[in-house]
Amino acid sequence: MCAVARDKPFDTFDDFIKNIHKEGSALIDFNGNKVPCIYINPTRYDEIMNAIHGKKLAVDTLLNIFHNGYDVFVDVQLKFLNIGINENYLLYANDMLDFFEALSNTGLIALAPNLSFAPSNSNIFMIQLPKKEAAENAFEIIKANIKNTKR
């Protein structure tokens, strides 16, 4: 896994809140397994699909975890190698434990166009994490740090 530089660092709690991914996420069924899916703007989804179409593809991933004893944020960073596309999706993990558990179980994450703009969910791009163990470790860290979510 490798790090992908963010345009803006997170210095304050408000920085995290302002940068939470707003397009949504869900668990989708794939061959009887729940796979975490991040919804993205349909235009951006098309840009990514057009850039990778017909090319040999590898996607490096990083789950960068931030916590303060109450709140856990995960910056899901995807780097499409040899294509020059870097994507970051900041998620509030306190409300998404099932999402990260599914990620640790399957080692898969999906991208799809936001359903509010795209009526069909037939356009789903699956990414297999290079190291499932990293997702398993991330899930354990997330689980351990959201236990104190009541302020």
Element (H, E) at 112: strand 108-113
Give all strands of the β-sheet with 25-30 in edge-to-edge order: 25-30, 33-40, 108-113, 125-128
* Residue 73 structural domain: 19-145
Structure tokens at 59: 């996607």
Record the pTM.
Answer: 0.87
Question: How confident is the model at residue 50, as a pLDDT?
Answer: 95
- Up-side HSE of residue 3: CA atoms within 13 Å toward CB? 5
9 in a domain, yes or no?
A: no
> What distance lies between CA 151 and its chain's CA centroid?
26
Question: How confident is the model at residue 147, as a pLDDT?
Answer: 67
8 in a domain, yes or no?
A: no
Distance, in Å, from the CA atom of 86 to the CA atom of 109, rounded to the nearest integer, reads 15
52 in a domain, yes or no?
A: yes
45 in a domain, yes or no?
A: yes
Total domains in the chain come to 1
pLDDT along the chain (151 residues), means of 10: 51 91 94 95 94 92 90 95 93 96 96 71 86 93 77 46
CA torsion, points 141, 147, 148, 149, in degrees to nearest 10?
100
- Residue 93's nearest CA partner among 11, 15, 23, 16 is 16
43 in a domain, yes or no?
A: yes
Question: How confident is the model at residue 22, as a pLDDT?
Answer: 95
4 in a domain, yes or no?
A: no
10 in a domain, yes or no?
A: no
